[in-house]
Homo-oligomer: A and B are copies of this chain.
Amino acid sequence: MLNTLQKPETWQQSMLSSVIAITEAADGDFSKIDRLVAASRDPHSTDLTIEHLARSPHSRIALTNRRSLGSIDLNALHQLPSDTLGYYYADYMLRHQLQHLVTSPATTEAEFIDNHMRETHDIWHVVTGSSIDMHGEIQLQAFCVAQLQLSRFWMALMTKNLLKASIYNIEAADGYLTALTTGWMMGKAAQPLFGVDWLSMWEMPLDRVRASLDIKLINN
């Protein structure tokens, strides 16, 4: 859209086009999200994100080992006691008919960040108490911006929801900004979730998982 015949798009123009496309699309259009992921992957901000993450020991180890969670038997997890992280995760996934995403091995840190954020996205939903609706998504997006700090993707994804509200659905603005504020404050207060060894925590009560990671739910 911002192309001319003479000049190729800069990545900034390409990113702006991606945000426009996702703003004009229906909520949850994954092809537009993939386009934004690709457009927002500039080396400079990726380096900054890696540098920021590496300040936390367990996130640094995760970036080095680049280990994926692998496949997860949700039905088995669903048999755990009903106060455990494993039960809550399985219950969330089964109730919403979601499948745990298995990612392919990452060869670079940048690729691992993408993979890890995708494969743990629904675990983050559960531990941060972020609902599956748009308020929960915005809360979690703001949480991710607070935690990754320099991620163009999460910042842009969150911003497009505010842009959609300002143009198409102004009545939603109040709820969206309350969700954003909640997620931002929770993300700032919590320990870094990136690289947490979730596989070792399935049997731990969800309350204890939250306490160990300084995740304090905020009720609005």
Contact = CB atoms under 8 A, between A and B. Distances in A.
For the residues of A in contact with B, the DSSP-based class is helix
Given A177-B142, A184-B181, A15 B159 contact: no
B163 A163 contact: yes
B150 A167 contact: no
Most chain B Cβ neighbours within 10 Å, of A142, A150, A158, A174:
A174
Interface string A166-180: 111011011001101
A151 to B, nearest CB: 8
A135 interface: no
Given A16-B20, A16-B24, A145 B159 contact: no
A15 B19 CA distance: 15
A163 B19 contact: yes
Contacts of A185: 181
A12 B167 contact: yes
A8 B61 CA distance: 55
Contact of A145 (B1, B151, B155, B177): B177
Contact of A150 (B23, B158, B173): B173
A77 interface: no
Interface in A49-105: none
A191 interface: no
B173 A165 contact: no
A155 B165 contact: yes
A152 interface: yes
**CB-CB nearest 3 A-B residue pairs:** A155-B166, A156-B166, A159-B162
